[in-house]
Amino acid sequence: MEVVSQNRSFGGEQVVYKHSSNTCACEMTYAVYQPPQAKDGPVPVLWYLSGLTCNHENAMTKGGFQEHAAREGIALVFPDTSPRGENVADDEAYDLGQGAGFYVNATCDPWRQHYRMYDYIVNELYSIIAETQPVQDRHGITGHSMGGHGAMTIAMRNPDKFESLSAFAPIANPTRSDWGRKQLSAYLGDDESTWAQHDSTLLLEEHGWKGDVLIDQGSSDQFLDLLKPEALADTMAKRRQPGQIRIQPGYDHSYFFVQTFAADHVSWHAERLLQ
């Protein structure tokens, strides 16, 4: 485990790590923010999964989460969005390949060797955080866009590992969206029956979620037709799933949107993780 950088932030420490991943068969980078309360003992942890084209650094530097995490006394984990390196398969398009892992375990060539982001988050990095960081066994998860998709599908498939769930403008119904069908067919093949476990609308319809859910979506999001929040809202209503989808007037898909509601999400998770 190599420390890439370490910075003081709101009384806590923002650290970036690099390690050799057995799951992704390449070097991976991730970031952890430890609030000042971690000096006195283990704290709960909130995972943030980023969207297309991002890595660990985007939300770490643009999201504004550290101030709120320091106030609430919870740690933050910022993983990368895909495997990377010269020998890792890639694509010329921004929405496939490096920076676009979609939080699935690829089963098709040329992706299957490295693109195992689901197992990386749920098993390998989850264990590394538990073993190396002063954190409690109390995990929440959130994310933006592709990362919102990842947060929701990972939480609903692993309710034993995550206590709280929220998302910023998630890709809510990828099996019915061009942000989803392209990637799922490339990574998993053309058998659409294998895609359902990576669609939060379908997972919610079949399994529900053990707690409530918080979703923020900008009304002026330029990708609204690709995100399909209405599909998730309809399913929540049909299942009577506790939670809320807040349509925020005038906000787009950028980190300005994420920054604006970061405090709400951190406080919302803290209320559930600090019980």
Summarize pLDDT for 152-185 with one digit per residue, the tens.
999 999 999 999 999 999 999 999 999 999 999 9
pLDDT value, residue 275: 80
Mean pLDDT of 213-233: 98
Q: How far apart are CA 145 and CA 227, in angstroms?
A: 8
Tell me whether residue 145 is one of the annotated catalytic residues: yes
Tokens matching residue 236? 């929540």
Domains observed in the chain: 2-273 (3.40.50.1820)
pLDDT value, residue 222: 98
DSSP one-letter string for 64-113: -HHHHHHHHT-EEEEE-SS--STTS---SSTTSBTTB-TT-B--STTTTT
Catalytic position from the list 145, 166, 177, 200: 145
Mean pLDDT of 25-38: 98
Catalytic position from the list 114, 253, 265, 269: 253
Read off the pLDDT of residues 76-107 as tens digits, 9 standing for 90 and up.
Answer: 999 999 999 999 999 999 999 999 999 999 99
Q: How far apart are CA 71 and CA 5, in angstroms?
A: 23
DSSP 3-state of 269: helix
Q: What is the mean pLDDT of the chain?
A: 97
For residue 220, pLDDT over 90 is answered with yes
pTM of the predicted model over 0.75: yes
131 Cβ contact list (under 8 Å, min separation 6): none
Phi-psi domain of 219 (left: phi exceeds 0; alpha: psi -120 through 50; beta: other) = alpha
Read off the pLDDT of residues 226-265 as tens digits, 9 standing for 90 and up.
Answer: 999 999 999 999 999 999 999 999 999 999 999 999 999 9
Q: How far apart are CA 13 and CA 8, in angstroms?
A: 5
pLDDT value, residue 250: 98
CB contact burial 234-248 (16+ within 10 A = b; e otherwise): ebbeeeebeeebeeb
Single out the residue of 175, 120, 133, 140 nearest to residue 35, CA to CA: 133
Catalytic position from the list 80, 199, 216, 221: 221
172 Cβ contact list (under 8 Å, min separation 6): 148, 149, 152, 200, 201, 227, 228, 229, 231, 232
pLDDT value, residue 197: 97
Tell me whether residue 221 is one of the annotated catalytic residues: yes
For residue 10, pLDDT over 90 is answered with yes
